[in-house]
Amino acid sequence: MTDPVPKPDNPTPLEEILTSLIESHGPIRVADFMADALGHPQYGYYMTNSPFGEKGDFTTAPEISQVFGELIGAWLITAWEEIGAPSLFNLIELGPGRGTLMDDILRTARVRPKFLKAVRVYMIETSGRQRYEQQKKLQDAKVPVTWATEMHDIPLAPTLIIANEFFDCLPVRQFVHTGDKDKACWQERLVGVNKSSKDGGLRFLLSEELHEIPAGAPATAKPKDIFEVCEAATGIVHEIGRRLQDYKGRALIIDYGHGRSGFGDTLQAVRDHQYWPLLAKPGLADVTAHVDFGALARAGRDAELMVYGPELQSRFLTRLGLEQRLATLIKTADEQVSEQLRSGARRLVHPDEMGTLFKVLCMSSAGLGTPPGFDK
């Protein structure tokens, strides 16, 4: 459960911290605001909230339907076979939330005892609160599970990586085209303190400093366009590249976002399944940005990875056998459970729900060929 919304005149502790930081050091980047709003060690959203499900602020695919984790589990078993069924390998999950996806994956893998004998699970999670949930969920997992805050410390070995709705939490910088049609001029969007209002609060402003066109932005930029840059995502993809250089492996990234780099302000805050003003009450709402799959794919190729996709979640899950799995489950389910299964599957693939906004990207070490679910 989340805490009640404070009154407007009652800033959150994080708002007070950010206000005094800005007053003493000047405005901060949007990325720094986002990093603290989500991950401040004491007051960050993920440190203090249980965000998932009907009672939380938003719902993710593994929380919607067990079929999601089962299909990903089957994909991972195939990937393990494709890398030669190593007798010891890492299965790394980035940002595992409640641990539901990993629980569904490990249940599915019971059909391959050798996979379960070989697996070393690593959960990359910064929030103590989410870790606690994950530990409860996986307490009966009969495989070694280790928690870490970043991938860096995990021993190198053949590796499979899964990240669902993780990259959208990584902080983005925003650059605004403030020139005219003849001359491009870029300024960074910053967060400052609202001095004109007696209630204070945070507000957006632009950097005095001018920037070059941000790396990766299409050359078609027009005045007022905003381009988002996620440096943390590039860093993580490079770390994936380092891990998959000497050892075989695949990484599967699932998230909402755009297939190609483009312009737009995609930053959004959500609380209690509703949009929330971005800068209001930091720490109480989830703050995310759409994932730029074009930028991820470029970073993957820079890191000498083979990149497949992005593919639409609907096509990916359908190709992995969503309908067949659903039919099997429905055979033994009562009317009410069957209806839940059908509506969950629909949410995963329907174009008005998660089917087209959500995309899937695979990055692999060389020589493995096209993975299931992607175009040959």
Binding residues for ligand SAH, rule: CB under 6 A, are 38-39, 46, 52, 60, 62-63, 95-97, 101, 124-127, 130, 164-166, 169
CB of 168 to ligand SAH, least distance (A): 8
* Helix ranges restricted to H, the chain: 13-25, 30-39, 45-48, 61-64, 66-82, 100-108, 113-118, 128-137, 231-246, 293-302, 313-319, 322-331, 335-349
Residue 15 near residue 202, CB atoms below 8 Å? yes
CB of 45 to ligand SAH, least distance (A): 9
Identity of the residue, 135 or 338, whose beta carbon is nearer to ligand SAH in the bound complex: 135
CB of 206 to ligand SAH, least distance (A): 27
CB of 123 to ligand SAH, least distance (A): 9
Q: Tokens in use for 139?
A: 């307490």
CB of 250 to ligand SAH, least distance (A): 17
CB of 11 to ligand SAH, least distance (A): 23
DSSP 261-316: -------EEEETTEEE-TTSSTTSSEEE--EEHHHHHHHHHHTT-EEEEEEEHHHH
Residue 286 near residue 51, CB atoms below 8 Å? yes
Residue 78 near residue 374, CB atoms below 8 Å? no
Determine how β-strand 186-193 pairs with β-strand 173-177.
antiparallel
| Burial class, 336, CB count within 10 angstroms (exposed 0-12 / middle 13-18 / buried 19+) | exposed
CB of 222 to ligand SAH, least distance (A): 32
DSSP 67-88: HHHHHHHHHHHHHHHHTT--SS
Identity of the residue, 108 or 187, whose beta carbon is nearer to ligand SAH in the bound complex: 108
CB of 182 to ligand SAH, least distance (A): 40
Distance CA 286, CA 272 (A): 9
Identity of the residue, 66 or 187, whose beta carbon is nearer to ligand SAH in the bound complex: 66
Identity of the residue, 64 or 329, whose beta carbon is nearer to ligand SAH in the bound complex: 64
Q: Tokens in use for 221?
A: 């930029």
CB of 331 to ligand SAH, least distance (A): 27
Q: Respond yes or no on whether the N-terminal peptide bond of residue 277 is cis (omega within 30° of 0).
A: no
Identity of the residue, 97 or 241, whose beta carbon is nearer to ligand SAH in the bound complex: 97
Buried b (16+ CB within 10 A) or exposed e, 131-162: bebbeebbeebebebeeeeebeebeebbbbbb
Distance CA 62, CA 68 (A): 6
Identity of the residue, 68 or 186, whose beta carbon is nearer to ligand SAH in the bound complex: 68
Identity of the residue, 63 or 292, whose beta carbon is nearer to ligand SAH in the bound complex: 63
Identity of the residue, 62 or 73, whose beta carbon is nearer to ligand SAH in the bound complex: 62
Identity of the residue, 97 or 310, whose beta carbon is nearer to ligand SAH in the bound complex: 97
Instruction: Write the single-letter amino acid at 175.
Output: F
